[in-house]
Amino acid sequence: MPELVFFSGTMDCGKSTLALQIGHNRSARGLQGLIFTRDDRAGEGKLSSRLGLVTDAVEAGVDMDLYAYVVDELSRGGRVDYVIVDEAQFLAPDQIDQLARIVDDLELDVFAFGITTDFRTKLFPGSQRLIELADRIETLQVEAMCWCGARATHNARTVAGEMVVDGAQVVVGDVNRPAEEVGYEVLCRRHHRRRMTAAAAQAGALSPDVLPVVAG
Ligand SMILES: Nc1ncnc2c1ncn2[C@@H]1O[C@H](COP(=O)(O)OP(=O)(O)O)[C@@H](O)[C@H]1O
Ligand SMILES: Cc1cn([C@H]2C[C@H](O)[C@@H](COP(=O)(O)O)O2)c(=O)[nH]c1=O
């Protein structure tokens, strides 16, 4: 039975790597996939992993009907055995419905990969729709870690090195960026709530005592 599967996790937990692995294993068995992505860091029409692998993909534009795209591909004699979608959080809810239709009406597996929540801990609309419609939601096994050693569950955005909770929902970017750039860091919920990034924790640990200790 074909499925719509949502592989979700924080940033930097290996989603794109898994997408590439699924594609590789299937193509090794002669299957042909169609890969969609939106706003990958490597540029338009690319699906890239931090492990250095990159492949060409179809850039899923804002107004693209993904179901119609696959039907068109098939009706022109193309072959599509399954569909991979990376950065699925950026898709519009309607486009997630189109993915469900690919599964139900064209009987193809659709593997979607994305982060669930943004830097404010709010669901991306595309991820919300995936949670509503997916046959299965898979959490990645290789867990990203907070600086404290706990499992990272949330994504923080930093501007000039400081964690922020206001701003546009979508700002393409990466972890481990220089402090002067907009960047991201994965944190456990406790430290996300306290806005305590690795840099803030280190600054706190290094700061001298505010009050002098006076012997009584
Ligand atoms: N130099 C490295 N050596 C081994 N693993 C790495 C290295 N760099 C990145 N990774 C792995 O790649 C993961 C990020 O993979 P990626 O597919 O880009 O993540 P995502 O798509 O979820 O943001 C990291 O969590 C880590 O496990
Ligand atoms: C938290 C958050 C992330 N983004 C962007 C930053 C990256 O370009 C992608 C996530 O990519 P990854 O492969 O999962 O690392 O999403 C954003 O636009 N807004 C956010 O709040």
Domains, the chain, ordered by start: 1-142 (3.40.50.300), 143-207 (3.30.60)
Task: Identify which of 168, 171, 200 has the alpha carbon closest to the alpha carbon of residue 183.
Answer: 171
Q: List helix spans (H) across 155-210.
A: 189-193, 198-206
Which pLDDT tens digits describe the chain residue by residue (216 residues)? 999 999 999 999 999 999 999 999 999 999 999 999 999 999 999 999 999 999 999 999 999 999 999 999 999 999 999 999 999 999 999 999 999 999 999 999 999 999 999 999 999 999 999 999 999 999 998 889 999 999 999 999 999 999 999 999 999 999 999 988 999 999 999 999 999 999 999 888 776 655 555 665
Answer for the pair 103, 3: CB distance below 8 angstroms, yes or no. Answer: yes
154-159 and 183-187 beta bridge pairing:
antiparallel
Q: Could you tell me which residues are annotated as the binding site for substrate?
A: 170-173, 184
Are the beta carbons of 113 and 140 closer than 8 angstroms? no
Instruction: In whole angstroms, give the CA distance from residue 111 to residue 83.
Output: 6
| DSSP class per residue in 98-133 | HHHHHHHHH--EEEEEEESB-TTSPBPHHHHHHHHH
Cβ of 118 less than 6 Å from ligand 2: yes
ipTM, two decimals, is 0.98
Q: Give me ligand 1 centre to Cα 51, in Å.
A: 5
Catalytic residues: 87
CB of 185 closer than 6 A to ligand 2? no
SS (H, E, C) 20-89: HHHHHHHHCCCCCEEEEECCCCCCCCEEECCCCCEEECEECCCCCCHHHHHHHHHHCCCCCCEEEECCHH
Residue 155 CB less than 6 A away from ligand 2: yes
